[in-house]
Structure 1
């Protein structure tokens, strides 16, 4: 990918705000999530969306990407006026960016790096599937994964994990020191638990800490008002419908959403009500509705005679 393609993947401009990037990411990740989209190429597209968001959501990585492309974002060097740790604007660097740390150590450290120096072990990733409710409330579970031990052999490792409430698809949790052993006495790598949330079986949708649902109401309740029962992830609640409520009206249930994974207040649930128009009416219902229509128009329905 060049330094334009990440923006193209998310469908945003290079001047997009972080809010615009986040909204685009949520839309695209849901569209191509492999648990939802089984079309050929969807999983690869999902990986591209994740890669693009990982860079563009980080201001430092985004700045490096805008200036140097993907290699600059991957290298992670910044802070100097020249970009890569003090390289000036007129300098160009071409070649393999996979180990710029060693290269800079050689250039500025007074000699070649020691091949026997301690190095951190390889990071690992574990995919955790969550139900909609598990993602909202969090859970404690035990995972089993494979990693290489210090003798170079594969081992199975069990680990207790506490999933915080409020996680979403694409987010991940870092478990320090749970990756593979380091080299030459270096520290263990880390384990990254990536979360994938299944769609709600109750028709809920979620954007951050806000949960959305759609609920039908009958015509009489919309006109006269009343009270309906609404499902939330916290249980059923009663919602008052004012007289004269129009279809597609939104109501807010405070505190009935998801927690913020980064702390903060509990989210809300937005309930959209729509008028469910019956396809069939019995004689009593039809007569009552005709009487209502007559009261509005002042015209009675023509009486049916012998030939009509």
Structure 2
């Protein structure tokens, strides 16, 4: 198992405390000596627990990120991080402890450990690559069933010519004169709490501590080139318009051996001619003839997954809505479907043959209505709706 605490837990260096806690629970379950068959389970369990303790402590995590793994562990073995949290002999005002009760020496020393001295260069610690974003459009049917889609993106990738180094293999290097090979430039200030050193990545060598006589002709010294990549995307059933899919490790390459960023794909679902979507529910307008509305009938209703039959009760009014349970969209990553709501739209014919006209006139007269033939019976019906 890697010594680096972020690698121990399998999280990125900018992971939140909640992400760290979740990763710890998974790893602790995996390596707990009472349940694991791994012969090194006990040692791995201890490392997981130690990683969680450091990375969920704000002060310790800051020190760990600044100092690197080896220097942090050395400082911790010397009592540089626990001495001030307990014992009467430690300086109560110093959260990092240190020798002696004077604040000036202890605080100054710990800031030197944080920011100054030799060891790991400030700009050379592994850093995760940036997340990249793109979009993808799918049909409602693909959102219903789920699909495997191809998306082509243009993204930075590690230069193959120089293996991401920014210079040809074997290129002569010289020590950066700006930082004297440290990868950092440091400003020292004297404060009431002692000497404080504040450091930042050297702008000239970008934290590498070295300058090279020749740059890579393919990437111009950046270590990355822009390329097109085609990715296969698994679209889950039930995805909604505007939601984002994440493809781990498909983003920009990491720096100094750090992991790649992620690819974030925003999904757009096309409008459908038959359905309007509201979450997992769908809405559809169904044409119902006047006789069907009057006498009742069974009509065929389309769904995303094929047609179904629906009973139209006698006396159905135009605009009345019926619910077909479970005929909507699937719920995302859980069982079940939404519903399909069917709104009846009673349709009157624009023209009648003689038999139809006589029958409807008789219908109107039987109901005590006087029909103005010039206006037309169905015109009255249309106006009434």
TM-score bracket for this pair, using the shorter chain length: 0.5 to 0.7
Residues 249, 260 of structure 2: 8 Å contact kept:
yes
Can you list the C-alpha shifts for 1:123-180, whole angstroms capped at 9, x where unaligned? Answer: 1112111012112211012332222122211223232221001112110111111101
Could you tell me which residue of structure 2 aligns to residue 257 of structure 1? 328
Q: Distance in 1 between matches of 2:308 and 2:371?
A: 42
Give the Å deviation of 1:302.
8.4
Distance 1:208 1:196 in 2: 14
Structure 2: state its 5+ residue gaps: 1-57, 67-95, 97-109, 116-120, 160-223, 375-385
Indicate the residue corresponding to 2:279 in structure 1.
208
Equivalent in 314, 328, 332 of residue 243 of structure 1: 314
Residue equivalent to 1:127: 135
Residue in structure 2 matched with residue 83 of structure 1 by the alignment? none
Structure of higher CA gyration radius:
2
Q: What residue is the counterpart of 2:367 in the other structure?
A: 296
Residue 289 (structure 2) pairs with residue 281 (structure 1): no
Shift of 1:301: 5.2
Residue 10 of structure 1: aligned partner? none
Match in the other structure for 2:292: 221
Q: Is structure 2 residue 175 aligned with structure 1 residue 167?
A: no
**CA distance in 2 between partners of 1:273 and 1:155 (Å):** 53
2:296·2:313 contact (CA, 8 Å) conserved in 1? yes
Q: Which has the higher contact order (CA 8 A, sep 6+)?
A: 2
C-alpha offsets along residues 24-46 of structure 1, whole Å, 9 cap, x if unaligned?
Answer: xxxxxxxxxxxxxxxxxxxxxxx
| Residue in structure 1 matching 2:337, options 260, 266, 270 | 266
Aligned partner (choices 241, 252, 268) of residue 196 of structure 1: 268
SS of the equivalent of 1:126 reads strand
Does residue 154 of the first structure (1) align with residue 162 of the second (2)?
no
**d(CA) in 2 for partners of 1:300, 1:214:** 33
Distance 1:208 1:264 in 2: 15
Q: CA RMSD in A?
A: 3.0
- For 1:135 and 1:230, the matched residues in 2 are separated by 20
Is the Cα contact below 8 Å between 2:301 and 2:309 reproduced in 1? Answer: yes
CA gap 1:145/1:278 in 2 versus in 1, 3 angstroms: same
Confirm or deny: 8 A CA contact 2:134 2:266 kept in the other structure: yes
Name the TM-score, length of structure 1 as normaliser.
0.60
- Counterparts of 1:187 and 1:213 in 2: how far apart (Å)? 47
Change in 2 beyond 3 A, CA 1:198/1:288: same
How far has the Cα of 1:300 moved from its partner? 5.7
Q: How many equivalent residue pairs?
A: 204
Query: Offset at 1:250?
Result: 1.2
Hey, what's the Cα distance between the residues in 2 that align with 1:293 and 1:270? 33
Picking from 184, 198, 212, the partner of 2:256 is 184
What residue in structure 1 maps to residue 124 of structure 2? Answer: 116
DSSP 3-state at the match of 1:153:
strand
Decide which of 139, 143, 149 is 2:147's aligned counterpart: 139
The CA deviation string for residues 251-300 of structure 1, in whole angstroms up to 9 with x for no partner, is 11222111111313112211111111222222221211111111111x56
Structure 1: 5+ residue runs without aligned partners? 1-85, 87-100
